[in-house]
Homo-oligomer: A and B are copies of this chain.
């Protein structure tokens, strides 16, 4: 029997997941109403079928894959539809949100009758046949996500309650995206202090792996900075006000907000960073 998987929304990550599942034989549905023509084209081209909001309930599983700031909103929008529906598909929140936010997602859908599963995605948008991307789930007592394994996704269960998969995403992203924030801040400061060539020479000699990571990760961040603002705030809230490190992520959110503004404006900061890094790209 062909499985039907709903993916909301068909962005860069959701579209890539949809393509993998469609390539593996699933029927993949999504909603493109109100989205750009470019997004609609991407969804079509990935083998996804555009349906109406109410038809989303026809899925076996609903995957929520949106920017972190939209996770609760999406769950709230779906709540009346799923509550009305006879079918009760499992809803999996795969977003980069903290366990508290995951609880809000769960609360928004509490009256719907649908099973709620916590998930997170670590790695780049997946490609069929590659396994660089891991899909973590927790709170899936009845193995409802097994279907995704069967469709070729690299799925990993975390022993733990609803929220454990979200927590894992927070700590992993905190280390890696936090490092991009540090590198961005320090490279910009080195330009201001006229020691940028000295910094990149010293890094290339004593920490070549760190420099390589910044050369790859900083330009890749420009186009995602607006999403990372909310993700950094999720991490700060995850740590809570009593953890002294919480402020690192509040501040990283501020830095990424500045980079998002730069992207919308004249890209002065991105150009300065590219100059230090010796690259010309402007990211995804």
A-to-B contact residues, CB < 8 Å: 99, 122-123, 132, 134, 136, 156, 158, 160, 163-164, 167-168, 170-172, 174-176, 178-179, 181-187, 189-190, 193-195, 198-199, 202-203, 205-207, 209-210, 213-214, 238-239, 243-248, 250-252, 254-255, 257-258
Contact = CB atoms under 8 A, between A and B. Distances in A.
Most buried by B among A158, A183, A206: A206
A168 B199 contact: yes
A184 B164 CA distance: 19
Nearest to A131: B205
A281 to B, nearest CB: 21
A193 B167 contact: yes
A267 to B, nearest CB: 18
A193 B210 contact: no
B171 A189 contact: yes
A171 B199 CA distance: 7
Given A171-B186, A244-B255, 16 more contacts: A122-B202, A136-B198, A167-B189, A167-B190, A167-B194, A170-B189, A175-B207, A175-B210, A176-B207, A182-B245, A209-B213, A244-B251, A244-B254, A245-B251, A245-B254, A246-B251
Contacts of A258: 244
B185 A182 contact: no
10 contacts: A134-B205, A168-B198, A168-B202, A174-B186, A179-B182, A182-B248, A189-B238, A244-B255, A244-B258, A248-B252
A255 B245 contact: yes
A213 B255 CA distance: 24
Contacts of A247: 247-248, 250-251, 254
